[in-house]
Amino acid sequence: MKNLFSLIAFAFIMMLSVQNVSAQSISQNQDRPEVIAKTQLLELSNQLELTGEQSRTLYRVLVTKVVSIRKSELDENKATMTADKKKADELFYAQMKNILTAEQFTKWKSSL
């Protein structure tokens, strides 16, 4: 009986610790550039009805944009940080113009 109680207590403690570990990994993953890009891509796909090729290309562009903005945020110089963000936004705008059709691009521009 004592062994059964010990086994149940051990199983309960293990179950609680596994839930804690899962909760930590979920919160850490939400901040990754790939997760952010995937979320943004899902919104754009619903809004613009993207093709498969457009989705793949746009995913890479979104990841690049998030990474470059994060790198610019590490810079302590505000002027350089602002210039880097502006450059990343301009590059993203140009890439969106190349990836999307004219109709999709105007729809995307109007949603900004």
Q: Does residue 21 carry a pLDDT above 60?
A: no
Residue type, 31: D
Q: What percent of the chain has pLDDT over 90?
A: 26
Task: Check residue 17 and give its pLDDT.
Answer: 63
Task: Check residue 26 and give its pLDDT.
Answer: 53
Task: Calculate mean pLDDT across residues 45-49.
Answer: 89
Task: Check residue 72 and give its pLDDT.
Answer: 81
Poorest-pLDDT segment among 29-33, 35-39, 108-112: 29-33
Distance CA 39, CA 66 (A): 12
For residue range 60-91, list pLDDT tens digits in order: 999 999 988 888 888 777 888 888 888 988 99
pTM for this entry = 0.68
Q: What is the mean pLDDT of the chain?
A: 81
Residue type, 72: S
Check if the beta carbon of residue 58 is closer than 8 Å to that of residue 103. no
Q: Does residue 20 carry a pLDDT above 80?
A: no
* Residue 112, token pair as written in the block: 């900004």
